[in-house]
């Protein structure tokens, strides 16, 4: 989301490194809390909540699922959170609904990483980096495509009558 908003000039690029670092640190800290609360089984069995594909799902399908759901989520957020034509109160509902749909669609395939920081943080502490490249690159590509689509074709549209 941070990179998508920066790419659409809705967030300052100078703040991106700090936000990304904070997000990865937060996801890693959450995994550490999980480990502390639930013990070693949280790490050995549940991998501290690290995102991983379903059994037998190839990396290409993980990449596609993560790119598609991140595309939809970023498109919705850029539309409802940055466009003055959208009523303010709808942003939270639309964002939550888009995230819920992303999880329902990609959960059975990829584990619904959707956010690179959220996916990688637990991987760091769990020491298991299954298809980590897909969880980093797919959301970035999907988010970039969503911002490009919105900025090029949808932002300039007229408000419906």
pLDDT tens readout for residues 97-133:
999 999 999 999 999 999 999 999 999 999 989 899 9
pLDDT tens readout for residues 52-91:
999 999 999 999 999 999 999 999 999 998 888 888 889 9
- The pLDDT, as a whole number, for residue 154 is 87
b/e per residue, 123-145, with b = 16+ CB within 10 A? bbbbeeebbbebbbebbbebbbb
Could you tell me the fold of the domain covering 2-154?
Glycerol uptake facilitator protein (1.20.1080)
d(Cα 124, Cα 119) in Å, to the nearest integer? 9
Q: What proportion of the chain, given as a percentage, has pLDDT over 90?
A: 74
* Mean per-residue pLDDT of the chain: 91
> Residue 76 in contact with residue 131, Cβ under 8 Å?
no
Q: What is the mean pLDDT of residues 41-49?
A: 90
- Whether the per-residue pLDDT at 94 is higher than 60: the answer is yes
**Domain locations along the chain:** 2-154
The model's confidence at residue 161, banded by pLDDT at 50, 70 and 90, is low
- The pLDDT, as a whole number, for residue 111 is 93
- Whether the per-residue pLDDT at 39 is higher than 70: the answer is yes
Rounded (10°) CA dihedral 97, 98, 101, 105: -170
- The pLDDT, as a whole number, for residue 63 is 95
What is the phi-psi region of residue 103: left when phi exceeds 0, alpha when psi lies from -120 to 50, beta otherwise? Answer: alpha
């Amino acid at each position: 989301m941070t990179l998508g908003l920066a790419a659409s000039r809705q967030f300052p690029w100078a703040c991106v490194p700090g936000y990304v670092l904070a997000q990865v640190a937060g996801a890693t800290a959450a995994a550490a809390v999980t480990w502390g609360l639930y013990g070693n089984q949280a790490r050995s069995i549940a991998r501290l909540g690290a995102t991983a594909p379903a059994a037998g799902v190839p990396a290409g399908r993980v990449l596609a699922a993560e790119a598609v759901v991140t595309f939809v989520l970023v498109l919705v957020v850029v539309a409802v959170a940055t466009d003055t034509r959208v009523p303010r109160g709808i942003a939270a509902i639309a964002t939550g609904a888009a995230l819920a749909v992303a999880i329902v669609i990609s959960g059975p395939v990829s584990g619904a990483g959707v956010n690179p920081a959220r996916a990688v943080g637990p991987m760091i502490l769990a020491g298991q980096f299954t298809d980590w490249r897909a969880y980093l690159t797919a959301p970035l590509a999907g988010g970039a495509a969503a911002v490009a689509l919105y900025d090029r074709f949808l932002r300039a549209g007229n408000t419906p009558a």
